[in-house]
Amino acid sequence: MKITSLYIYIDGSDLNDVADKIESSIETWLNNTDFDAIIVNQKHERTPDLKNADLTDWDLGINLNYDQLSKLNEIANYLYSLAIKYNRNFALGYYDATSNITENISYFGSEDGKPKISEIYEILGYSC
């Protein structure tokens, strides 16, 4: 496994009412930090397998290079504050360049509680 990046996205696709507010909040916050993160706000196109009532996937959050892992606690805690404010949850996952897959490894937010940073570090094989 070769993890090259992490993502932290809102869990869910019903984001029409909050997407712009969350993106703006993240952008303002990132502009006042030294984190090397990319804001993502991508609503995917409808696919033929979706039913009329199904929502398309929507990636809203940030991408981080793996070398930012040491700052994960501060980043996740800020995003947790947004999750509480907007009554949402975040999914945290990684991208494995070897297998070209992504995998969610942890959730946090209004329903899932605070980020479990030590568990995330353990899953990723990272030690502070």
Answer yes or no: is pLDDT of 9 > 90: yes
Enumerate the domain spans of the chain.
3-124
pLDDT of res. 56: 57
* Cα–Cα separations (whole angstroms), residue 38 to 64, 106, 114: 7, 20, 22
- Pair 88, 73: CB distance under 8 Å: no
pLDDT of res. 8: 97
Structure tokens at 71: 């700052």
Specify the CATH class of 3-124 in words: alpha beta
Instruction: Please write the tens of the pLDDT for every residue from 10-25.
Output: 998 888 899 999 999 9
Amino acid at position 115, single letter: P
Tokens 């507010």 — which residue?
21
pLDDT of res. 44: 64
Closest by CA position to 1, among listed 117, 75, 99: 99
Closest by CA position to 56, among listed 41, 68, 45: 45
Q: SS3 of 34, please? A: coil
Structure tokens at 78: 């800020």
Instruction: Please write the tens of the pLDDT for every residue from 58-105.
Output: 899 999 999 899 999 999 999 999 999 999 999 999 998 888 888 999
How far is it, in rounded angstroms, from Cα 72 to Cα 84?
A: 18
